[in-house]
Structure 1
Amino acid sequence: MEEDNVMRLQKFIALSGFASRRKAEEIILEGRVKVNNQIIQTLGEKINIKTDIVEIDGKRIEISANHIYIMLNKPVGYVTTVSDQFNRPTVMDLIKNDIKMRLYPVGRLDYDTEGLLLLTNDGELTYKLTHPKHNIEKVYIATVKGIPAKDELQRFREGLYIDDYLTAPAKIEIIKIMKGSCELKIVIHEGKNRQVRKMCEKIGHPVIKLKRIAIGNLHLGNLPLGKWRHLKDVEVNFLKKI
């Protein structure tokens, strides 16, 4: 057991909210982390969280005692990162004028996908929510080309081979039929890169528009596009009980 105030460096980075523990290990190995102005590239290195100064890419990171949890209705055209090497707008641009504390997205939404995105500075919660074992239900509304047949819907529900993996069983139903397209309600428990889009394409119905409307018991509701709100206590408690 770690002593009071003494913690492994990768755990400290994760709890700061900067990155997941696995990503923190990559950052350390890449030589991007300094402790007391010394580059550390050894996994398992222990630090004193009260006295040691930790920097990543030249910026100091700390574990915040004041946790913030917000829900954002992400528009298309924003990347789900803190910064972007191509200078594209990020989701942080949508909150920077209102919240001065450093927050981080929980998981991702594609550049061309809109909808519910969580942001927080609670690194431990971020780690829990993004871990595959928790199987949190994510609900999407997808507008796709054409109208899937019964056998195509069944294949989707049973799991599809995408890239090098088989998707877990999912839910799908047609909720609106239009000329040459339809709206689908899709529920998945995973969150692999562009998974919903790849699954729809696999059954021959590419996505035209995609929106995430719920994560577990958290629902986007009527939150306007591009706007955010603090999570309610009951919503935060739901997340912490996962």
Structure 2
Amino acid sequence: MRLDKMLAHMGYGSRREIRGLVKAGEVLVNGLPAKDVGMQIQEENDQVLVYGEEVIYSEYVYYMMNKPPGVISATEDKHDETVIDLLDPLAQHFEVFPVGRLDKDTEGLLILTNDGKLSHQLLSPKKHVPKTYFAKVEGVVSQKDIDQFAKGVILDDGYETKPAKLTIVQAAEISEIELIIVEGKFHQVKRMFEAVGKKVVFLKRIQMGELSLDPELELGDYRELSKEEVEILRNSQPIAF
């Protein structure tokens, strides 16, 4: 790969700006000043430094965000703040997109990446990748609801959901539950509870596949996934209830 292409991809500026960095001696390749922006770089073997900092090349980037309520899961919107607006300029440079959607008023785990293959793998209806939610629900959630969710419920448009695993954390006038679903229909969790006469008043996604939301991430914060976490997502398996 050409040196200027590598550095442009990693967010170090336009190719013209990178030429300026090379002329100023700010780019070192294997300890020596780069003399030609067109020189070929072996990303896995050559060491590239810019301003003394090593450049670690990556074709794809992966971020975990604790999405706050009031922000929409989209790359752009004329009226509302999007999850992309919460990213710093370097993260935005990679043109990432959210893997699936969380409703505007729903918070929690959201993956952002520019890896379309992984996104398709996680969202494909054929893959049945599980998604786990914590919710507060108006009404006493009971064993009857658990049994109904395990069979699938019929939504307001006549669609019958796939089986889901409902766990009661606390049964009360405002019940607390965890729910695992394997599909992602529009407002699905809320509509499932509406189908059994209850209303979701708080909703948070806490897990996708085997990857859990980092408890240290505050609302609106994000971080890069580790290589191990990316592999966890890649190896996500269907779940049977």
What is residue 194 of structure 1 aligned with on the other side?
A: 187
Cα offsets for 1:81-115 (capped at 9, x unmatched): 00113x20100111134523211111110001000
What is residue 181 of structure 1 aligned with on the other side?
A: 174
What SS does the aligned partner of 1:239 have?
helix
The answer to whether the 8 Å contact 2:109/2:206 transfers is yes
| Bigger proportion of residues as strand | 1
What is residue 150 of structure 1 aligned with on the other side?
A: 143
> Does residue 121 in structure 1 map to residue 114 in structure 2?
yes
Alpha-carbon RMSD: 1.6
> Does residue 95 in structure 1 map to residue 95 in structure 2?
no
Q: Which stretches of structure 1, 4 residues or longer, exceed 2 Å deviation after superposition?
A: 238-242
- Identical counterparts, % of pairs: 41
Cα offsets for 1:133-159 (capped at 9, x unmatched): 111110000100011232222112210
The answer to whether the 8 Å contact 1:141/1:186 transfers is yes
Aligned pairs for 1:36-51 within 5 A: none
The Cα of 1:238 is off from its aligned counterpart by 2.2
> Does residue 167 in structure 1 map to residue 155 in structure 2?
no
The answer to whether the 8 Å contact 2:142/2:171 transfers is no
What is residue 14 of structure 2 aligned with on the other side?
A: none
The answer to whether the 8 Å contact 1:81/1:91 transfers is yes
Unaligned runs of 5+ in 2: 1-56, 237-241
Note closer, same or farther for the CA distance 1:117–1:216 as it changes in structure 2 (3 Å cut): same
The answer to whether the 8 Å contact 1:142/1:211 transfers is yes
What is residue 63 of structure 2 aligned with on the other side?
A: 70
Aligned residue pairs: how many?
A: 177
What is residue 136 of structure 1 aligned with on the other side?
A: 129
The answer to whether the 8 Å contact 1:217/1:235 transfers is no
What SS does the aligned partner of 1:133 have?
coil
> Does residue 225 in structure 1 map to residue 219 in structure 2?
yes
Comparing 220-229 and 133-142, the one that deviates more: 220-229
Counterpart code for 2:152: G
Counterpart code for 1:214: Q
Counterpart code for 2:83: V
